[in-house]
Amino acid sequence: AQRVTQPEKLLSVFKGAPVELKCNYSYSGSPELFWYVQYSRQRLQLLLRHISRESIKGFTADLNKGETSFHLKKPFAQEEDSAMYYCALVGTDSWGKLQFGAGTQVVVTP
Amino acid sequence: DVKVTQSSRYLVKRTGEKVFLECVQDMDHENMFWYRQDPGLGLRLIYFSYDVKMKEKGDIPEGYSVSREKKERFSLILESASTNQTSMYLCASSLGNPKTQYFGPGTRLLVL
């Protein structure tokens, strides 16, 4: 069975400090991994996908198949990064069904 | 820009009522999904549909049904609402590939 674990419910960081959101997954094949973000009073939206290997809003995430992790990182947090972040997985044997983690609330304080 | 709309932002219903949540997408996406979002549990898939009149159960289908008569519209039905169905309901759509999902604004349902 596929599973996504985000161990931190809440992450509080100061503006300008690095931030890392942890995500671990279990899946027997080669999944696609995503990070979705929900800002206050906005809809859930894609932040980045591992296959794109891109940096969005200063965030990066590297898929580590050995550790089955897909941690999200940003070197200098900004106040506008305050949001709920969800790690999600799509298996190769599905119709694009997302398996979400429980989410991490990030609060960036000045 | 993909647009996914949901018929209501807030709904208040009584226990036992039949509840309809509507979702419409305007990008000719094949796949549509219904999730519920609860604090500490993340998003859990209720049902999804990969084509008109086709539906598949997700992880928590009990107490729900769905209907997809047209490609752009996917309805979630609570046959007899219960208080444990109080939640935020999110609709999403996607093409087959890439698998990026686009979400609606959500419907916050309160069952009294």
pLDDT at A62: 87
> Domain B4-111 - what CATH class?
mainly beta
CA pair distance B46, B25, nearest whole angstrom: 18
- Residues of chain A numbered 9-38 and touching chain B (CB < 8 Å): 9, 32, 34
Domain locations in chain B as residue ranges: 4-111
- What percent of chain A clears pLDDT 70, i.e. is strictly above it? 97
Q: Which domain holds residue A24?
A: 3-109
Distances B102 to A5, A8, A98 between C-alpha atoms, Å: 22, 25, 12
Give which of B5, B10, B43, B107 to mutate to test A binding, by max A Cβ within 10 Å.
Answer: B43
- Residues of chain B numbered 61-100 and touching chain A (CB < 8 Å): 90, 92, 94, 96-100
User: Residue B72 — φ and ψ, nearest 5°?
Assistant: -85, -10
- What percent of chain A clears pLDDT 90, i.e. is strictly above it? 73
CATH number assigned to the domain comprising residue A72: 2.60.40.10
pLDDT at B97: 64
The domain tally of chain A equals 1
Tell me whether residues A97 and B90 touch, CB distance under 8 A. Answer: no
Predicted confidence (pLDDT) at residue B95 exceeds the cutoff of 90: no
CA pair distance B20, B77, nearest whole angstrom: 5
pLDDT in tens, A54-85: 888 999 998 998 999 999 999 999 999 999 99
Predicted confidence (pLDDT) at residue B14 exceeds the cutoff of 80: yes
If you average pLDDT over residues A22-46, what whole number do you get? Answer: 92
